[in-house]
Amino acid sequence: MMATQSHSHGSDTMNTQAYFDGDRPLFHLPKEPHHPDGHSTMLGFWIYLMSDCLLFAGLFATFAVLEHSYAGGPGPKELFELPLVALNTAMLLFSSITYGFSMLVMERGKKNATLMWLGITGLFGLAFLSIEMHEFAGLIAEGATPQSSAFLSAFFTLVGTHGLHVTLGTIWLVTLMVQVAQKGLIPANRRRLMCLSMFWHFLDIVWIGVFTFVYLMGVAQ
Amino acid sequence: MSDTATNHHGAGEDHLDHPPHGSFKGYMIGFVLSVILTAIPFALVMTGVLDKSVTVPLILLMALVQIVVHMVYFLHMNMSVEDGWSMLALIFTVVFVIITLAGSMWVLYNMNANMMPMSMPVSPATQAATAVGG
């Protein structure tokens, strides 16, 4: 039906010829149309992010189920320091907006400004990771290790997986900064920066889930 | 065959390979909204001004709104990104996430509620006996 519609348009003969053999519609393209380099990268990367989302859904579900299984050990109210979590949240939110700024200057072709904003984003990412490591180290020093209870196993797995994502994102960021510094804002690098942009903002979205479900609801209950 | 229609449409609009981008204003709106939607739930929980039964739905609601804010202003999601395929993938994922979360909590809550009470540590021998007896 679609093909008939296109045929009746008739204005674009090139287009029509490619899909019709006389009046007979072609159900297979005679040859693969030319696609510009990397034209499907963004959609492909988006689908990867959605699959990553399912991974986090699994970890969130595990946490939701084991949330109250303290095994006689400490619970969220005794363990979590909300001011520290608020600071961490701020770091990630700042890194999101500075990454946005780097994308804006990238569009205007400003290489050095892009590198500067990416660098600031990386520093906020490192600050987030340092605070998280500090928090984990404090918990483990108090004896609240992943082995202590099902609640803590689920907590360290969920928050740790997010932290691992941020770590990999930061390594990726440094890699792209080196690439941009050496090769400039070539189309391939712009595409890579846009993928990392999606990844970085996605991690901030996952963090909204983490601070709400794990920290705030844990302490509120 | 729907490809034909897509190509036709694309050629007509002279649409180049430009994914949607934000503007400075867009990022700032997203940032300010995010700050507000983060500060309120933290303040509610840290001060404990409201009852738990009010606080929990409120912070959940604000998390949901903030996720939408991030999607719109930071990830530039709308119905036309990649001809709607991004939105389709997102809707599919959201359905899956809801089933995973709600399903796990529902099933395991009921399993917990229907578990045989085990107030005392049970030795493997007693456990086997109970299993046979039950």
By CB atoms closer than 10 A (0-12, 13-18, 19+), residue A140 is middle
Q: Are residues A28 and A48 in the same domain?
A: no
Q: Are residues A129 and A99 in the same domain?
A: yes
Could you tell me if the ipTM is greater than 0.95?
no
- Count structural domains, chain A: 2
Q: What is d(CA A166, CA B14) in angstroms, rounded to the nearest whole number?
A: 38
Q: Are residues A200 and A165 in the same domain?
A: yes
Please state, rounded to an integer, the average pLDDT across all residues of chain A: 89
A10 touches chain B (CB under 8 A): no
Q: What is d(CA A73, CA A206) in angstroms, rounded to the nearest whole number?
A: 27
CB contact under 8 A, A96 and B11: no
Q: Are residues A100 and A194 in the same domain?
A: yes
Host domain of residue A123: 41-220
Q: Are residues A192 and A84 in the same domain?
A: yes
CB contact under 8 A, B101 and A39: no
Confidence at residue B118, expressed as pLDDT on a 0 to 100 scale: 66
Confidence at residue B127, expressed as pLDDT on a 0 to 100 scale: 52
Query: Mutate which of B34, B74, B96 to test chain A, going by most A C-beta atoms within 10 A?
Result: B74
CB contact under 8 A, A39 and B17: yes
Confidence at residue B117, expressed as pLDDT on a 0 to 100 scale: 73
The CATH number of the domain holding residue A149 is 1.20.120.80
- Per residue in B17-72, pLDDT (tens digit) is 455 578 899 999 999 999 999 999 999 999 988 998 999 999 999 999 999 999 99
At A211, phi and psi to the nearest 5?
Answer: -70, -30
Domain boundaries, chain B: 15-77, 79-114
Q: State yes or no: pLDDT of A105 exceeds 80.
A: yes
Average pLDDT over residues A149-167: 96
- Per residue in A45-71, pLDDT (tens digit) is 999 999 999 999 999 999 999 988 898
β pairing state of A24-25 and A20-21: antiparallel
